[in-house]
Amino acid sequence: MDNNRDRYISILEELIRLTHSEDFDREAYLVWVNDACKYYRLSKAETEFYATPMKEQKKQGEIFCDFDTGEQGKPLVHHRIITRTKATVIGTLYSAEERETYTEQELVELDALLRIVMGFVSRMRLIRTLDELGFSDVAGFKNFRAFARFLDIANSENRLGGKVAFHIDLHNFTMVNQEIGRQNGDLVLTNYYNMIQNAIGDTGIIVRLGGDKFVGLFDRSVKRQVYALFTEALVPYDEKEDKRVRVTASAGIYMLPDPFMLKVYGDIMDKVMMASTTAKRQTDSAIVVYDDRMKKEREHVKKVQMEFRQALADEEFQVYYQPKVDIDTREISGAEALCRWLKNGRIVPPMEFIPILEINTDICDLDFYMLDHVCQHIRKWLDEGRDVVRISVNFSRKHLVDVDLLDHIISVIDKNNVPHEYIEIELTETTTDVMFRDLRRVVSGLQQQGIWTAVDDFGMGYSSLNLIRDIPWNVLKIDKSFVPKDDEEENSIRNLMFKHVISLAKDIGLECVIEGVETVKQLDVLRRNHCNIAQGYFFDRPLPLPEFESRLDQKVYPELT
């Protein structure tokens, strides 16, 4: 009896030791189960786990049969526990055929052992569930916490040096979803993720940040394979029909120095994000590697964004005017208002701050500031009895989503008591369908109010003839890059396109303005193509208010030779 008792205590001790150690050693556990089952002459020991009552009903769970002699047996001890999370754990021990009777004491012992094992099974499952919940998102992708844990472990083992960190953002994924359906889109994401994970192997990781954005880390040795997937991957979503889509991504890369010690996750995240932002600005698939200049650039961006509000309040922005000239009569026929920032005695050109103001919607406030000042100037000129010409004001595309844009523009013009026909709004081409619709709505609205509208920089982007056919513009401003060069052959593609676009525009009643005219020869090209309005350094650079006013008074440009 005492011998048996000692044996039971040692089995119990061993079991407790196994189930309480940090790393569960399944091999050792199975040896123990075997020993114990043989000792009690069992034929089979089985546990079942069902995460929910529904899963139990459908028998969708995990069944662990840790011991089985294959003999016919009878259930000896059986328990069914429902945990607080409504998971079910079932445990059954079967006796061997020939071993019919068990003492009361033995049954108590087996009962206790089974309960400990079941408690242990539910704990292991709980840890796994926590893992699933904590380190992956609802769609089953690993999440940022999994990335952070991976970094922590690799960092503590000094393994981060020389690795490659990345952030990727898939191109046009909304379009992929539209084309093949959301469900297939999800499948593409999963398959693409798995393709990258396979290329990375187990020395790295990829996790999803949300949507179509992922971050991760890999070893330099697999760089070529992983980069190839960023550049272009044909991702299957229907194996049977062999259907695949082409996925491309913009990737921000940070090559970790060697050695590398991680202090905060930001050391890696900030850099891959910065590189990724730069990559995203490039049009096609792009891989951009972080370098320290990006940090300076970002600081510059932050500085401009911070200074902007105060500068606007202090009226540091000034309107410069560049005349548009009728090349036949040499009269000023209009002018474009261009923004200059007078900052600490220096004139900052728009290209240094406008792209930054366009990152958020700051640009919208600047455009309205410009419109307001232009209206004030026009009102003043009218009151002074000057001959006033129409002034065009640039409006960023960022305005297009604003449903109150039209009302806002009109209220500014009306507040200054300026007749609508003196104002022209310049908008650039758009690339997406959605913006195209917004553009048409805004332009038509302005049109109805008698405010002029111009397509700016036509010929610079991916100009579309739909743009001039479907939207009721008044003016087409043709970018200088579209104007044939002085020595260009008569039948060059540029020459032909220029000629035909101009005649098409004229036929549908658009006024054509050519920007960036600098030479007499360019004027000749314009004349030959019956394009009579020019804006450019040949006549004037953008001028400060007083100088422009004297041009207004002078009216006609002297003949230059």
List contacts with Mg ion (CB under 5 A).
Answer: 394, 426, 456-457, 515
Residue in 1, 313, 351, 465 binding ligand C2E, rule: CB under 6 A: 351
Minimum distance of ligand C2E from residue 513's CB (angstroms)? 10
Contact between residue 129 and residue 107 where contact means Cβ atoms under 8 Å apart: no
Q: Does 363 bind ligand C2E (CB under 6 A)?
A: yes
Of Mg ion, ligand C2E, none, which one sits near residue 212, judging by CB under 5 to 8 A according to partner kind?
none
Closer Cβ to ligand C2E, 66 or 456, answer by number = 456
User: Which backbone phi and psi does 246 adopt, to 5 degrees?
Assistant: -90, 120
Strand residues in 104-260 grouped as ranges (E)? 164-170, 205-210, 213-218, 233-238, 243-247, 249-255
Is position 367 an interface residue for ligand C2E (rule: CB under 6 A)?
A: yes
Count the residues of the shown chain that bind ligand C2E, applying the rule CB under 6 A: 24
Secondary structure string (H, E, C) spanning 13-66:
HHHHHHHHCCCCCHHHHHHHHHHHHHHCCEEEEEEEEECCHHHHHCCCCEEEEE
Relative to beta strand 213-218, strand 205-210 is antiparallel
Residue 171: CB atoms within 10 Å = 18
CA-CA-CA-CA torsion sign (412, 413, 418, 422)? positive
Are the CB atoms for 285 and 230 separated by under 8 Å? yes
User: With binding defined as CB under 6 A, does residue 365 bind ligand C2E?
Assistant: no
Q: What residue 453 binds from ligand C2E, Mg ion, none (CB within 5 to 8 A, per partner kind)?
A: none
Which of 122, 143, 394, 474: binder of ligand C2E (CB under 6 A)?
A: 394
Instruction: Look at the block and give the residue holding tokens 């758009």.
Output: 430
518 binds, among ligand C2E, Mg ion, none (CB under 5 to 8 A by kind): ligand C2E
* The pair of three-digit structure tokens given for residue 307, joined into one six-digit string: 């200074």
Instruction: Estimate the crossing angle of helix 362-383 against helix 405-415, to 10 degrees.
Output: 30
187 binds, among ligand C2E, Mg ion, none (CB under 5 to 8 A by kind): none
Question: Does the protein bind ligand C2E through residue 536 (CB under 6 A)?
Answer: yes
The contacts of residue 26 (CB under 8 Å, 6+ apart) are: none
Instruction: Compose the 411-450 pattern: x for residues touching ligand C2E by CB under 6 A, - for all others.
Output: ---------------x------------------------
By CB under 6 A, the residues from 454 to 473 that bind ligand C2E are 456-457
Helix (H) or strand (E) holding 300: helix 292-313
Q: Which does 96 bind (CB under 5 to 8 A by kind): ligand C2E, Mg ion, none?
A: none
Is residue 313 a contact point for ligand C2E (CB under 6 A)?
A: no
To the nearest whole angstrom, how small is the minimum distance from the Cβ of residue 479 to Mg ion?
6
Under the binding rule (CB under 6 A), the answer on residue 544 touching ligand C2E is no
Cα 425 from Cα 509, distance rounded (Å): 18
Cβ of residue 338: shortest distance to Mg ion, in angstroms? 7
* Chain residues that interact with ligand C2E, rule: CB under 6 A: 322, 338-339, 349-351, 354, 363, 367, 370, 394-396, 426, 456-457, 515-518, 535-537, 542
